[in-house]
Structure 1
């Protein structure tokens, strides 16, 4: 999957079509999670996040999917509920390799990671 994000308006991004990979500000909490734009209509985007959650948000809560090797992220280490800072070391679709700042490494899924 690739992000098909084209139009930018300040900090907001319009998902051009359903199926685009985006980052959504889940529940407005200030963390950006990866997902797919399922529906784009009326200034709103319905996102199916990579962890399975769904949410309909305004365009200001969506931005281009821009994760790549070297991007700083926080991930839910071993899916145990604790978030730790790290850097993306490998990325293939929803499979992501993380080099944590404390020296640990993990291969996990994008749905267990977020950015600020």
Structure 2
């Protein structure tokens, strides 16, 4: 976890102390996905937290750097789409979305990528233009497995999915 993220998380949830950074470990039965974790001491209690959850507490893009995988509010809409930071300007972030689109956004319209197995998303089923709700069943880079609410399943790319 970067120092800026740690400082922002401490500001939000109180004083936290990462006391052990875990190696990526399997997450989700048979998913093949890897999830880094952190052992945290907070208020004399010890917690094991996924690093993605911790990073998701930091909503400011100020901690982002070129090359970071992020979520951006495409065209100021209600949904967050995954992409990579291409450049950072004064108060702006240029994101190349996973579907190939590019957009320059205000920093408040960009947040750290926080998708994980079990999270609700909407995906463009088979790329046919219809968006359906489901849960992430597997993640491996830009490859994503979706278990749709209607019972369908699909292996697709993150560029065809969005979150609220």
TM over 0.5: yes
Matches within 5 A, 1:32-111: 32-111=80-159
Pairwise CA distance, 1:88: 0.2
C-alpha distance in 2 between matches for 1:45 and 1:23: 11
Q: Which structure is higher in RCO with an 8 Å CA cutoff and minimum separation 6?
A: 1
Question: 4+ runs of 1 displaced by more than 6 Å?
Answer: none
How far does the alpha carbon of each residue in 1:61-115 deviate from its partner, in whole angstroms, 9 at most, with x for none?
0011000101100000000000000000000000000000000000000000000
C-alpha distance in 2 between matches for 1:108 and 1:27: 23
C-alpha distance in 1 between matches for 2:63 and 2:139: 22
- SS of the equivalent of 2:108 reads helix
Q: Which has the higher strand share?
A: 1
CA contact (8 A) 2:91 2:106 kept: yes
The answer to whether residue 105 in structure 2 is matched with residue 28 in structure 1 is no
Pairwise CA distance, 1:14: 2.5
Pairwise CA distance, 1:17: 1.1
TM-score, L = length of structure 2: 0.64
- In structure 2, the partner of 1:13 is 61
Which one has the largest radius of gyration? 2
- Quote the RMSD (CA, aligned, Å): 1.9
Structure 1 gap segments, 5+ residues each: none
Q: Which has the higher helix share?
A: 2
